[in-house]
Amino acid sequence: MTATILEHCALLDVAQGQILPDHSIMIEGERIIEVSDRPIQRSEARRIDVHGRTLMPGLCDAHVHVTQLSSNLQSLRHAAPSYVTAQASVVMRAMLRRGFTTVRDAGGADYGLADAVAEGLFEGPRLLFSGHALSQTGGHGDPRQRGEDRIDFCAACVGRSGRVCDGVDEVRRAARDELRKGAYQVKLMVSGGVASPLDRIESTQFSLEEIRAAVEEAEAQDRYVMAHAYTPKSINRALECGVRSIEHGSMLDQATAEHIVRRNAFLVPTVVVLWAMVKHGESIGLPDVFRAKAAEVEACAMSGLEIAARAGVRMAYGSDLFGPMLSFQSQEISIRCDVQKPIDVIRSATVLAAELFNMTGQIGVIAPGAYADIIVVDGDPVADVNLLQEDGKHLDLIMKGGAFVVNRL
């Protein structure tokens, strides 16, 4: 196996927030073998001169929906799985070429998509899928309109992001079923949502016993629960039941932020999707009810982000975009930099995401033994985070698991 050496790198140590000049990194197979501040001696290796550009870990997005391909989410109920898969392959290729080498899907993707990427059938980030999100009747994951009684879609189909279950026994069965199919984490809807037709943002969803049942089933298989929640009440209920990852959390208050810290949990803010729905929702045909809800939540989102940052909440990077808005994935970086330091936003998309995914030391870091998930930036992304945006325009090299995706060097 021929090794690859990337030399003369300005290495971004994301944990320390330092640029380390003139480093070399050796890769063999999928992994980083050596990191050195001196030239690495390996006579048969392929050598690439990085010319002082910044080398850093590939980015992680902890909240994506690679199968939600239309702003008309209702249409996905009737889309052919083969068509959804074909479009998802295009979405994932674009994510990888923006520098996102690992993503966590929050509802819709399945083991087939993850296997296709792992086997190289199409380009995409490493895909940590949830399968179908669990929703109560009338909850954020129930797609029915008021006049519909039947649930007329198959819970086994890729692309359909939710499944409805009620009562402790049904929740246990649904959680076990998603875990049976290989879900990396179980997704619960525990509050009202924006892109759902009937529920109110302030509603709480699932009983405490139902939430605990899902947490118990996930923990029994060494997994965890991520929960969609906007309001303090819904967040606190989830935390009391052992939920590890709070998604969105846009309306949280100081006491709730402190509760997240005490529970050693994570928050995954997704401000960019609210911005995109408010700014572009009308032009892409987003229903009026969704745009009104988005405006209500967006009004609180930056304040919630600031409260969380000030309280020391561990935050991972997330985008939550769908349909035509998927192209704004990297814009969450600059949005968060209005509140956080650039290095803290970069950490949220590297080492903190790795910790949330239970992949510390494997991704989100440039170190021996880690996957060779690497991006090379033409400039210093800590000084100018815009270099991590513009669809990978400033990324001269992207490598995932030791394989070149982009190599302009």
Residues 6 or more apart whose Cβ sits within 8 Å of residue 363? 57, 58, 60, 101, 102, 126, 350, 353, 354, 357, 370, 371, 373
CA 300 to chain centre: 21
pLDDT for the residue numbered 83: 87
Would you list the DSSP string of 202-268?
Answer: T-B-S-HHHHHHHHHHHHHTT--EEEEE-SHHHHHHHHHTT--EEEE-TT--HHHHHHHHHTT-EEE
Instruction: Report domain extents, the chain.
Output: 4-58+364-407, 67-356
pLDDT for the residue numbered 148: 64
- Pull the structure tokens for residue 394: 């400033």
pTM above 0.85, yes or no: yes
* pLDDT tens-digit profile, the chain (409 residues): 789 999 999 999 999 999 999 999 999 999 999 999 999 988 888 999 999 999 999 999 999 999 987 655 565 666 788 888 999 999 999 999 999 999 999 999 999 999 999 999 999 999 999 999 999 988 887 766 666 656 654 444 555 678 999 999 999 999 999 999 999 999 999 998 887 777 888 899 999 999 999 999 999 999 999 999 999 999 999 999 999 999 999 999 999 999 999 999 999 999 999 999 999 988 888 888 888 888 888 889 999 999 999 999 999 999 999 888 999 999 999 999 999 999 999 999 999 999 999 999 999 999 999 999 999 999 999 999 999 999 999 999 999 999 999 999 9
pLDDT for the residue numbered 138: 81
Q: Do the beta carbons of residue 370 and residue 32 sit within 8 Å?
A: yes
* Overall CATH class of domain 4-58+364-407: mainly beta
Vertex 240: Cα angle to 318 and 347 (nearest 5) = 25
pLDDT for the residue numbered 380: 96
- Residue 38, burial from CB neighbour count under 10 angstroms (0-12, 13-18, 19+): exposed
The Cα 283–Cα 262 span in angstroms is 42
Q: Helix (H, G, I), strand (E, B), or coil: what is residue 81?
A: helix
Q: Which CATH number fits domain 67-356: 1.10.3720.10, 3.40.50.150, 3.30.1490.190, 3.20.20.140?
A: 3.20.20.140
Vertex 178: Cα angle to 176 and 184 (nearest 5) = 105
Q: Do the beta carbons of residue 321 and residue 231 sit within 8 Å?
A: no
